[in-house]
Structure 1
Amino acid sequence: MAYLDYVQQNAKGVQVSQQVFGQSAEGRALKVLKVSLPSRISKKAIIIDGGIHAREWISPASVIWMMDKLVFNPLSDPDVATLLNHFDFYLIPVLNPDGYEYSRTNDRLWRKNRRINSGSTCIGVDLNRNFDYQWDPSKSD
């Protein structure tokens, strides 16, 4: 995502770093942007992700809006400054890049990722229903 590079290079008054934390089934980099203020003490972290459902295009835009609020002149907004004094932010604009791209180019209502499921003709899983905590594969929309 070229925009993450732009944000990192043009941040004002905050530390911004970018990491690749994985790769999608189709080989796209999964990127996270860390936004923080320098501190001698460790702070709690807030993770904000978007684009887990491929067809919900507003969520990546919302994460990018939040990113802009945190990165560009954050100390001019007292609420943002308070948040940054207490927390480090980890922002993931698109957690499901394969599904997001597929929903843009092939099937507007696609919501899953694009991983090929072993032993099945079905493509993808609903990432939002694939967490270990109280997960029940028999329940789905």
Structure 2
Amino acid sequence: MTSITLDAARASSSPSDFLAVAGRVLLAAIFVLSGASKLADPAGTITYIESAGLPLATFAYAAAVAVELVGGLLLIAGYQTRIVASAIAAFSLAAAFNFHANLADQNQFIHFFKNVAMAGGLLQVAAFGSGRFGFDHR
């Protein structure tokens, strides 16, 4: 193949490019919405964190808002995607073990494995990057 043919092949989008951005947006949506709801009710969120027995609830609140809201928006944008996806995956696992570990309760069981599944999807993004439609590609 000539250089021109290779450049044309690189310039065309594939279904995988669209699936990658759709996957990022769908994964990020729950984090952006959750971060926004925490931002809207700081006192309630801090009380909930304290009820789970975690130390430094105010700091944990600020960190959760940053990871969910900022991290979610960065994931949508495809900026520093591998790092952001890894951080949100770790956050999801921490939330599963600290807030949803009562697996005898069916609701908590579902939330626990929802968080584990989201972490799995995020690790896929961390492994393969943002795809063509993200700031990382530029």
Give 1 or 2 for the bigger CA radius of gyration.
Answer: 2
Q: Which has the higher contact order (CA 8 A, sep 6+)?
A: 2
TM-score computed with the length of structure 2 as normaliser: 0.28
- The structure where helix makes up a greater share of residues is 2
TM-score computed with the length of structure 1 as normaliser: 0.27
